[in-house]
Chain A
């Protein structure tokens, strides 16, 4: 769970920050079932940093985190992020060194 945005359990489970523990359990079970059946819609989830692939392990880890109050509070803070234009694209400058005649 290093990526505060891409791996945030609220985004993985597509839940609002005010959801209950029951909502967490129900949503996790539903997503695991869909993933095991290979439902395409469940294969990715949206985050403010762009779409990410969803796996059964990720869903289980998200469920476990949201059931621990300290971890849930921490993740709630990061889940407040809004999508930012251009945030998904890592803007690296072009490499022109190979275009120099002497290199």
Chain B
């Protein structure tokens, strides 16, 4: 470097842009007085050839080694002047620009102030440039691959332009198909050519192009790197269908029982849960829409897929429904009658009106089976290891059922004379008839399970010695708990289970006139209702808490009351009164409710001195059951709570190979919980016999479907379950009668399909190509590209927020996009313009600027609505020959052929009313308005407020930024303008680039625009990407961070704040001690300066933006030093 600093200062007039406000001569004279300034001149256009030549000549002739140009923004001409310096042999980084146009001339009319500020800026630039250092630009190679995000018309166009140049393109589209909004359109303005005719060829080309890797149903997750070398992680969402084998034949959709509103048809038609958005979709494959597990399934202890069979019932597929249930468990008839149905408690429909009657529907499937005939094919025993199940209650049978279907030979040992356990002996026949139980156990036997009744097991080792390799214990909790009060052992005191067992076995039980039942669970209710049926005249249930705390099924309690059973709540017996060894009554204490206990129910607290007596002949105690600890006591470990000790996950007992579940492990619980335990044990036994890890990946959790939409769902009461008249009720006749077919279908049709796909798996059977893979998971793909084109499109404005336009409340008020679907031959009405009642409209109003040019919503003009409104008017005329009214503020037809199109429509006889609509209403004030939609607006040209009665209203809704534009902006590190659309680098001269080099933005992601403009932008962005590829390298700014080793102490403050991940902490040994410092990656660094600002030690600086250089400017401006 030369010793003496010689600066040339050039003040630009920029025509009158600068010189009109800033006194350029005064600034020039001032510049001459500044230290080291060798020359100062002003010129009309410094950026012109002569302007540049002056600088070049001065550099050479006056030996300048620094240059300052005071003119416009560096964004405009920094490169111009750097080139000029460079060509004159001066390092271009020894040049500095002062912005006296945007920062001085354009921001004030005060000439003096502008001139004064211009001087300050020139002074600052002169001070700074003196301290600047020569730098060399860096170059890196460009990765020739390009990522295009968004497969609408803009994205497709960009992808094709680049791919046609034989460069690899990755096209990421989040929807199942490319095509974007254009695929939804009918005709396109102003030429009226069919949108599909011109876009599907592009779609198919994209789908088959050898240089395009189409990643549909995928989203960009992460972007790192910089221009020329981006690393991108893409999430390929599970579509549960293998794309390769799927032929798009559509057989799967035919059998799918779940219908949801079609997004593509904007809710005007239904689609299946397995779907292809539209027939010309690319790729031409189906996708299964899952929204997590339905709450009913998550709530079921056994994970029974209720949504699956409910959906199938709604479609009349009763047999398939039962098969769906049997994938999980065999007890449709049993659980359809006695299940406590936690599924119904969680049912989302309950938040809207009433939960689906899932239990009754389950029963319906079993009731209906005889109609179709049961076909049972015994399962082949493919496994050699024999399994013994001890106990034939619900747990044992569920375990046996799952194991036999895995191919194991299974034998069930039952001590009682008949199988079924508590189902047979603990539940009265009027709730669960024996033939239902027999039939379902029979089904399990037909599959190949051997049941040996009357076969008590004394010791497990005997079982093992008989050759069984694994054992499941499901013996239950069959011992009645005692109350521990005086007189409990008296004649006439019964225990509920013994009582029910005797009655259920057909034994005669004599009861007195008055019977009290103690307890509030299902056994108490069953005992009370049975006592009534056996002949007791008066039956009272005594329960210590209130009715809401009763654990019994509430409908059962209601039925008990209907049958004349009395409830005596908030009371507990303290003594059994006896006379001559026979019960005569009970002495009770009244209770009150305190704070909730561990069970969450409010704790009963005795009220002192509140005893009272009740005269009874019999007392039935139903306060709970316990496990008989004497069973297998020599072998099994029991817990302190008196239940069998098992591993909570695998259910393995202390004996290897022996597992236990159901009431004997949980204490008394429900049938469905026992079934769940049996199923878990079956998994363990299978793993055990295969030698696999018992616990890996268990317990599994199901992610519940969230945000189930309920808007627009009509409220509908649940179908009531028919009941037997009370006078006809006896010991064995069922009280609850099942649904008939019609009721079942009606009830099942209320299901909201929370999980979307119901997992019924009918599609799996229907797919000949075997393309369906319900186990598919999201996949991540990492790609590397040199540039990225963002073409993420727009959302349409939701007009329901403008309540006075009636969208969502009034029929036949639709949006412009909905109209496009209606007009489209592949749309919901096959191209006919129809009202909701199926008739054709005679008059239609098209309301412009809905959500556009409106301070309350979007202040900007959405650009395309005037034109598509005219097009809609044409289509209405053509297809329905209806009268059309356009309510507009200004008609904006700016584009080639657009004004001509306007003229054509005027010629077609469209009515134009200049005025923004104030209200759309169905409130008629005259006969002409009856049954019409009345559009109220001022015809501002007439100066009258008018009411226009029409049949249909089309709202020309605004185009808005995507709802996730902010997140997408962050992902790609690109900014947004005030309206929320992505910001281009320069609105006129660089409309497709962004402030993040190498990332381009095209189409409606940048601003609302029509198809020709989107396509033009896409081609422009493609050209920019191709230019980079063609050059093969990009120049990077040399003003990047540099670590000053002697200052950096490795505090690492700068590491985290660096937005480009360019800084790493390193440790090294120096003279025997560990030293720390940071390293900055010159390729990643963008010179933003965050590190410099963070560093407390001046250990990291940005070249040419060093602290002394910036301080010099600040001092100059503040007039210091």
Q: Is B truly associated with A?
A: no
Using CB atoms and an 8 Å cutoff, list the residues of chain B in contact with chain A: none
